[in-house]
């Protein structure tokens, strides 16, 4: 029996990665169709009732005609798509969370939705350390000066140099797959690591206030939930020692960005590094574009060749389990009740 699959890749998790992984992992006769989405050349956004998706509902509906399985990163599984594609039974999202899928509508239609947890843990951990060092050692600013032909000796002045990681205390807010890897790397630097995470059982973990008070460096790794919105605001930043460094490579909703800008402008924080933002792309006129001692990258902490390959492999594994009638490992919506 031929299994019809749509590989709806993009310019990061490419269709060739999906196809290679599917051919390697999935038994049987596969009819794999391809649709290339425009991300990241064109930013994702809200499509219908789902977030962080490519605006390709029409193309997706056409490509999913008579298709049972879709593997993708950015395709929008909206109620409109679901209603137009009655043959679809499995929708595999190759990212850490299926925010581009309407889980309620999928469950009602009997469509299983899966995701790919941990695909970018290594890349994000490494990027976090790069951002921490870049902010602490003023690497982007000094590079920009040199590129303009300016050799500035004043960066060597005592009040302008940053602290060392060795012997310093680093606080990790969140201790999931990424936070644990960051901790392991930091221990190699000789840093003391403090952890706040109410959802893990870890000996020696501390309260958020204690972590902020004791840490010269703070890195955010918590999940985005209604409870974690602006969990780091003006009051929390004020607890950090003067001259501290704050890094956010997790989610924009965790941090009050106006409070961060205030702390950088006042000199309370030595520096900060951000890969995620409250609005992406950053709008013109944002304070973030003019605040001093701030290092920024455009939400690419998880971007590595290995991340893309792992993403394709994880979803191909789910397709293989589906074909073999095995339980799915990373299902995001409930199994429909037996009738």
Q: Which residues are catalytic?
A: 251, 280, 299
Taking phi over 0 as left and psi of -120 to 50 as alpha, with beta for the rest, 77 belongs to beta
């Amino acid at each position: 029996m031929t299994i019809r699959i749509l590989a709806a890749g993009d310019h990061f998790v490419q269709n060739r990665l999906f196809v290679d992984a599917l051919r390697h992992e999935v038994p049987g006769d596969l009819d794999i169709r391809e649709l290339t989405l425009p991300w990241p050349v064109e930013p994702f956004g809200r499509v219908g009732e789902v977030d962080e998706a490519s605006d390709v509902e029409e193309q997706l509906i056409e490509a999913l005609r008579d298709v049972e399985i879709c593997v993708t990163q950015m395709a929008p599984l909206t109620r409109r798509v679901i209603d137009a594609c009655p043959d679809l039974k499995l929708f595999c999202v190759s990212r850490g969370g299926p925010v581009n899928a309407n889980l309620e509508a999928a469950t009602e239609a009997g469509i299983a939705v899966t995701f790919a947890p941990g695909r970018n843990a290594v890349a994000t951990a490494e990027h976090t350390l790069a951002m921490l060092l870049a902010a602490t050692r003023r690497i982007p600013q000094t590079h920009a000066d040199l590129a303009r032909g300016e050799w500035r000796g004043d960066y060597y002045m005592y009040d302008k140099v940053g602290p060392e990681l060795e012997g310093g205390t680093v606080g990790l807010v969140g201790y999931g797959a990424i936070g644990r890897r960051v901790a392991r790397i930091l221990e190699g630097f000789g840093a003391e690591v403090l952890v706040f995470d109410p959802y893990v059982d870890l000996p020696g973990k501390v309260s958020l206030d204690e972590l902020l008070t004791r840490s010269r460096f703070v890195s955010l790794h918590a999940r985005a939930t209604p409870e974690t919105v602006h969990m780091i605001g003006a009051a929390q930043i004020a607890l950090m020692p003067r001259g501290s460094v704050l890094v956010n490579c997790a989610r924009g909703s965790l941090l009050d960005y106006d409070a961060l800008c205030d702390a950088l402008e006042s000199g309370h924080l030595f520096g900060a590094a951000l890969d995620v933002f409250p609005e992406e792309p950053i709008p013109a006129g944002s304070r973030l574009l003019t605040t001093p001692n701030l290092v920024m990258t455009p939400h690419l902490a998880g971007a590595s060749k290995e991340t893309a390959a792992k993403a394709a492999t994880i979803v191909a594994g789910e397709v293989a389990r589906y074909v073999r009638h095995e339980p799915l490992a990373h299902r995001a919506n409930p199994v429909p009740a037996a009738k």
